[in-house]
Amino acid sequence: DAMRCIAVRGVWKYNRISPNERKKFYEDVSISHGEGGMFEINLDQRKLKTPGGKLFTAPNEALAVAVANEWDTQKDTLKFYSMHMTTLCNTALDNPTFRSKDQIITAALKYLETDTICYRVEEPPSLVELQNNEWDPVLKWIEEGYNVVIGSSTNILGPEIPQATMNTFRQHLGSYNFWSLTGLEYVITQLKSVVLAFALIDKHITVEQAVLLSRLEEEFQIGHWGNVEWAHDVDLYELRARTAAGALFVHFSSESSTVKRKLMQD
Amino acid sequence: MASLSSPLRLCRGILREIRAIKGPEYKQSLAYNYVLDQFRKNQITGERYCRAQEEALHASHSYLCLLTSTRQHIALYDMYHGKGQRDTEEMAGIVGLRLPTQPGGKGWEK
């Protein structure tokens, strides 16, 4: 069937495997040490490359294993849409949008103006209450923890973020390396919230909690109108997977490359 | 701080996920050995509360979430989107139409 379709030329060229997927072309996956303490991924005898054509390198073993596992668990077709750690590493390595750290920080902080948990509804009362109960504590956590003012608003323009707040966050984000920032921006765009991303990255909440808080209104509506598996659940699992990958990516990228060991005193 | 499962439960959960994907040879897999190794190493601490341990726990929780959610997403995706592109006859058939026939073929066909 696949052979027949691929052989067709001209206007009706198509194949049974969607462009998101590709046939698996290797058997064994392994990692190996490369130059400068970096790790490489081997698919049989071939070294994995980025979409940009560079040699794929991960800065530490944890990341390398996470990526290798994604390739190792593929079956007959490679489902690239599910390989989030690989995608994140590729983005960090290729930097396809040619952005500097500063530009990424600016882009990331832009989300604060329309932060999910700062943008409140005025009705129905049950949703208002839900938002207050679930979102106010996280807001309080970040304001106290970072000594900033953010606030929430029912205004269509959202809350007005003081410049001092932006400065504090900009300085904080500046302390992250490029890889970590790539991951952090990714988490922010997935959750549509700087506040939730910080709460997750600082390990104040779990991935599941962050996703739930991000999708609060959606969950509220599902509670009212019912769940549609092929839409709601697909979105939920995908968001969880992506957010989890982003959080892990930041965690692994932030660690020093030397293993932190505690000496065992006998 | 969010409440997390114990290291043992997380470790088991992750290894179970690996087994679910890899099948009978899961113990040979790269991830299996690395994960087991990491959990063993992290047990080495004399302190009750350790910041590094809390962070490792959170990361483990995130990894379990990644594996589980990815599996669940793929399962649903395959179910609802997995057909990929159907050929034109099938597509037409779905909405109750038939493709027109053109005796002699279209100009560019062999």
Partner-chain residue, chosen from B29, B73, B76, that has the shortest CB–CB distance to A72: B29
Q: Which of residues 73-102 of B touch A (CB under 8 A)?
A: 73-74, 76-77, 79-80, 84-85, 87-88
Based on the fold, state whether residues A71 and A40 are members of the same structural domain.
yes
- Number of folded domains that form chain A: 2
What residues of B are in contact with residue A241 (Cβ under 8 Å)?
A: 65-66, 69-70, 73
How many cross-chain Cβ pairs, A to B, lie less than 8 Å apart? 119
**pLDDT category, B82, cuts 50, 70, 90?**
low
Query: Domain range holding B58?
Result: 7-82
Nearest CA in chain B to A82: B70
A61: domain CATH number? 3.30.2180.10
Q: Is residue B109 part of a domain?
A: no
pLDDT tens profile A19-76:
567 899 999 999 999 999 999 999 999 999 999 999 999 999 999 999 999 999 999 9
Same domain, A23 and A110: no
Read off the pLDDT of residues B101-110 as tens digits, 9 standing for 90 and up: 777 766 666 5
- Give which of A100, A80, A101 is closest to A23, Cα–Cα: A80
Distance from CA of B100 to the nearest CA of A (A): 15
B19-40 average pLDDT score = 92
Per the structure, the complete domain to which residue A227 belongs is given by 101-265
Nearest to B55 among A12, A61, A203 (CB): A203
Which residues does chain A have within 8 Å of residue B50's beta carbon, measured at their own beta carbons?
262
Residue A241 contacts by C-beta under 8 Å, 6 or more apart in sequence? A82, A84, B65, B66, B69, B70, B73
Query: Do A73 and A14 belong together in one domain?
Result: yes
Which chain A residues touch B46 with a CB distance below 8 Å? Answer: 262, 264-265
Count Cβ atoms below 10 Å from residue A141 Cβ, excluding itself. Answer: 16
* pTM for this entry: 0.84
pLDDT for residue A11: 36
**pLDDT score recorded for residue A19:** 58
**Higher pLDDT, residue B97 or B93:** B97
| CATH number of the domain to which A143 belongs | 1.10.3580.10
Q: State the average pLDDT for chain B.
A: 81
Residue A215 DSSP one-character state: T
Of A44, A76, A94, the one marking the end of a domain is A94
Residues A125 and A202 in one domain: yes
Q: How many domains does chain B have?
A: 1
Regarding whether A128 and A184 lie in a shared domain, the answer is yes
Does A42 share its domain with A117? no
Same domain, A58 and A155: no
| Chain B residues within an 8 Å CB radius of A73 | 21-22
Give B99's Cβ-side CA count (13 Å radius).
Answer: 9
Query: How would you class A131 by CB atoms within 10 Å of its CB: exposed for 0-12, middle for 13-18, buried for 19 or more?
Result: buried
